[in-house]
Amino acid sequence: MNVCIISPEFPPLTNWGGIATFNYQLAILLSKIKHKVHILTYDSKGNASWDETLIENRLYIHYVKFKTDSKLINFFYYRFPFGLIRKIIKKFYPLFIFTLDWNIFSFLAFQKLYEQVPFDVIHTPIYYSPAFLIALKYRRIPIINHAQGPQSFFNKYEPVSFDNKLKSLMEDKYMEKYSKYVISCSQDLEQKIIQKLPKLNKKIFYMPNWLTFSCYFNKEPINIDNIIYMGRLEYRKGVDLLLKAFVDIASQKKDVKLWLIGEPASNFPHNKSFIDIYTMVKKMSLSKSIVSRIFFLPRIDERRTLIEVLKKLKGIAVFPSRYEPFGFVTIEAMALGYIVIASKNGGGKEIISNQIDGFLIKPCVEDIKKTLNKVISMSNEEINCISFKAVNKIKDNFNEKIARLKLKQIYSKLLSSIEDIN
């Protein structure tokens, strides 16, 4: 089958966040099961436009240029008169403008590509409704929408804005109206989607995310003095809860250190405004002894580099999200042999068996403190036992082999339905 993966998120020219990582692994896996895969994405600026063969002539990447071939149309769109309207709208609704830009220019790029490649299926994440306009014209091409957590489920954890509400409305309508199938990364998310959009009940599948395991293997010892968080430094992820718990623990345990790896977001409520995690640390007026043990590392986009850093820091990973659809970082940390403490709100409870291969907590300061103190006081034998079980859990349950079988089942069902129609 000819498959088109459509998403503005794809490495290496956009960051290795959860969506980009998933898209990359999906593309590789589809090509391995003999599908011809084309990725329609962009370079994070909309300037690049080229094709590159990636694997055995079965996987191609196409960068969408955010311009047309007509200088006149580009002038109208970016300068005058629509450019003035865009500028005003973008000031208040940047997500809407990006969604609009992406859909317009990916549609134009898809039209050209479709003349050369008769696609059998479009596979997209729901993020930014990436094939909304394409779905309107190319109705005969079935769309698989892969849910990693639509915006509507995140809105209550972010600053209230019409922009986010508009984005979530578009995502929900796109998923409900244009999906042949929906794939959910967790059973928890699957249930939430069915509750919100009951029409999807008969065409939704559960398929957990997966890892290509070998690159995570290591024999580094666990340093329980290292407490690590990786991911976006934002309110929904509960980084503020971890910070407060660490401060209490660090005041009594002089060797513990906190490592926060990721990109900051200014969405932590403070008085009547929002601040980032750096500002929060300053406002807490902490002692030099504690501040000197809080380390911020910028987002590391190159996956191998990130994995090598994590191997060196190997310790206790804490992911206290107020809500997490799946938790890609959870399975990564477990694969590396970390002791993982994760929120039970969302997909974490489907990954971790509490107190056997990790720990599940309520996303609150007291639960984080209690569990961290418990882990810190454990013997080396107990710690190594949990680490060993965590590694094997990921190896046995969240691997490429299982993902391949599930993906084959879904695509076989899709192929049968197409043949029935024909």
CA distance 28 to 78: 36
R_g of the chain computed on alpha carbons: 22
Both 233 and 275 in one domain: the answer is yes
Roughly what angle, to the nearest 10 degrees, separates helices 239-250 and 365-376?
A: 50
E strand or H helix at 306 = helix 303-313
Name the pLDDT band for 46 (thresholds 50, 70, 90): confident
Q: With 0-12 CB in 10 A as exposed, 13-18 as middle and 19+ as buried, what is 232?
A: middle
Helices (H), 65-186: 71-78, 82-92, 94-116, 132-137, 162-178
pLDDT for the residue 241: 98
- Residue 256's domain comprises 213-397
pLDDT at 161 exceeding the cut of 90: no
Q: Is pLDDT above 70 for 197?
A: yes
Question: 258 exposed, middle or buried (CB, 10 Å; 0-12, 13-18, 19+)?
Answer: buried
Is the bond preceding 81 in cis, omega lying within 30 degrees of 0? yes
Q: CATH number, domain at 303? A: 3.40.50.2000
Q: Identify whether residues 224 and 353 lie together within a single domain.
A: yes
Say if residue 224 is in the same domain as residue 178.
Answer: no
For range 200-217, the mean pLDDT:
93
pLDDT higher than 70, residue 420:
no
Q: Which pTM was predicted?
A: 0.93
Place of tokens 């190594």: 384
Give the per-residue pLDDT at 301: 82
Pair 281, 340 in one domain: yes
One domain for residues 230 and 180:
no
Neighbours of 35 (CB within 10 A): 19
Residue 11 confidence (pLDDT): 86
> pLDDT over 90 for what percent of the chain?
86
Number of domains in the chain: 2
pLDDT at 270: 94
Q: How confident is the model over 165-191, as a mean pLDDT?
A: 95
CA dist., res. 334 & res. 390, Å (int): 5
pLDDT > 60? residue 328: yes
CA distance 146 to 128: 12
Does residue 6 sit in the same domain as residue 136? Answer: yes
Neighbour count for residue 388 (Cβ, 10 Å):
12
Residues 115/77, Cβ–Cβ less than 8 Å: no
Are residues 167 and 29 located together in one domain of the fold?
yes
Q: Is the pLDDT of residue 41 over 60?
A: yes
What does the pLDDT average to over 200-220? 94
Rounded CA-CA distance 277/290 in Å is: 15
Q: What is the pLDDT of residues 72-122, one digit of tens each?
A: 999 999 999 999 999 999 998 999 999 999 999 999 999 999 999 999 999
Mean per-residue pLDDT of the chain:
93
Closest CA to 134 of 116, 164, 114, 149: 114
Q: Residue 103's pLDDT is what?
A: 96
**C-alpha pair distances (Å), 282 with each of 269, 273, 294, 395:** 15, 16, 12, 41
Instruction: Provide the token pair at 327.
Output: 């938790």
Determine the Cα–Cα distance for residues 141 and 160; give it in Å rounded to an integer: 36
Which residues are CB-contacts of 303 (< 8 A; sequence separation ≥ 6)? 11, 16, 21
- Residue 4 pairs in a beta bridge with 38, 122
Q: Does 202 share its domain with 308?
A: no
pLDDT at 343 over 80: yes
In this structure, the answer to whether residues 309 and 355 fall within a common structural domain is yes
Please compute the mean of the pLDDT values over residues 220-233 and round it to a whole number. Answer: 97
Same domain, 84 and 109: yes
Residues 6+ apart with CB under 8 A from 417: 142, 180
**Residue 52: pLDDT above 90?**
no
Q: Are the C-beta atoms of residues 356 and 269 closer than 8 Å to each other? A: no
Q: Is the pLDDT of residue 271 over 80?
A: yes
CB 346 within 8 A of CB 189: yes
- Structure-block tokens of residue 8: 């503005």
Under a CB-based contact definition with an 8 Å cutoff, are residues 175 and 125 in contact? no
User: Coil, strand or helix: which one is 5?
Assistant: strand
Same domain, 319 and 248: yes
The tokens for 226 are 């290292």
Q: Assess whether 270 and 175 both reside in one domain.
A: no
